[in-house]
Structure 1
Amino acid sequence: MKWVKLALGCLFAGLLFSGVLNPILAHLSDKNWLSSYLAGQGYQGYLWVALAAFVLVTAGGPKQVVAFLFGYLYGAWLGTLATLLLCLTAALANYLMARVLLSHTLAHYFPRRMNKFNQFASRAPFMKILMLRLLPVGSNLVTNLLSGSVGVPLWAFISASVLGYLPQTVIFALVGHGINGANHAMIYTSVGLSLLSFVLTALIYRDHLKYKLSTLQVEGKAS
Structure 2
Amino acid sequence: MKWVKWLLLVIFVVLLISGVLNPVLAHLSDKNWLTGYLLQYGWIGHFSIALAALIFVGIGGPRQAISFIFGYLYGAVVGVAVAIAICSLAALANYMAARMVFAHTLAHHFPVRMHKFNQFASRAPFMKILTLRLLPVGSNLVTNLLSGSVGVPLPAFLCASVLGYFPQTLVFALIGGGIGSANHAMIYLSIGLSLLSFVLTALIYRDHLKHKLSKLNLENNA
Pair in the same fold by TM > 0.5: yes
- Distance in structure 1 (CA, Å) of the matches to 2:43 and 2:9: 32
Give the direction of change, closer, same or farther, for the CA distance of 1:41–1:183 in structure 2 (3 Å limit).
same
Residue pair 2:8, 2:97 contacting (<8 A) in 1 also? no
1:150 aligns with 2:150: yes
- Distance in structure 1 (CA, Å) of the matches to 2:92 and 2:12: 17
Q: How far did 1:8 drift?
A: 4.4
The CA deviation string for residues 118-145 of structure 1, in whole angstroms up to 9 with x for no partner, is: 0010001011000000011111111111
Match of 2:18 in 1: 15
Task: Give the secondary structure class of the aligned counterpart of 1:17.
Answer: helix
Number of positions where the alignment pairs a residue of Structure 1 with one of Structure 2: 219
Aligned pairs (5 A) from 1:107-126: 107-126=107-126
Match of 1:133 in 2: 133
- Distance in structure 2 (CA, Å) of the matches to 1:75 and 1:10: 32
- Distance in structure 2 (CA, Å) of the matches to 1:83 and 1:35: 17
- Distance in structure 2 (CA, Å) of the matches to 1:179 and 1:118: 40
**Structure 2: 5+ residue runs without aligned partners?**
none
- Distance in structure 2 (CA, Å) of the matches to 1:113 and 1:4: 28
Counterpart code for 2:163: L
Identity of counterpart residues, as a percentage? Answer: 65
Aligned pairs (5 A) from 1:1-223: 1=2, 4=7, 7-8=10-11, 10-18=13-21, 21=22, 23-222=23-222
Q: How far did 1:76 drift?
A: 0.5
Counterpart code for 1:16: G
- Distance in structure 2 (CA, Å) of the matches to 1:43 and 1:215: 55
The CA deviation string for residues 48-83 of structure 1, in whole angstroms up to 9 with x for no partner, is: 001000100111111111111111111101110111
Task: Give the secondary structure class of the aligned counterpart of 2:29.
Answer: coil
Q: TM-score, normalised by structure 1?
A: 0.93
Residue pair 2:69, 2:173 contacting (<8 A) in 1 also? yes
- Which shows bigger deviation, 134-143 or 32-41? 32-41
Q: TM-score, normalised by structure 2?
A: 0.94
Q: How far did 1:179 drift?
A: 0.6
- Distance in structure 2 (CA, Å) of the matches to 1:3 and 1:42: 34
Residue pair 2:72, 2:79 contacting (<8 A) in 1 also? yes
- Distance in structure 2 (CA, Å) of the matches to 1:10 and 1:134: 30
Q: How far did 1:7 drift?
A: 3.1
Residue pair 2:19, 2:51 contacting (<8 A) in 1 also? no
**Structure 1: 5+ residue runs without aligned partners?**
none
Task: Give the secondary structure class of the aligned counterpart of 1:87.
Answer: helix
Give the direction of change, closer, same or farther, for the CA distance of 1:48–1:9 in structure 2 (3 Å limit).
closer
Q: How far did 1:5 drift?
A: 6.6
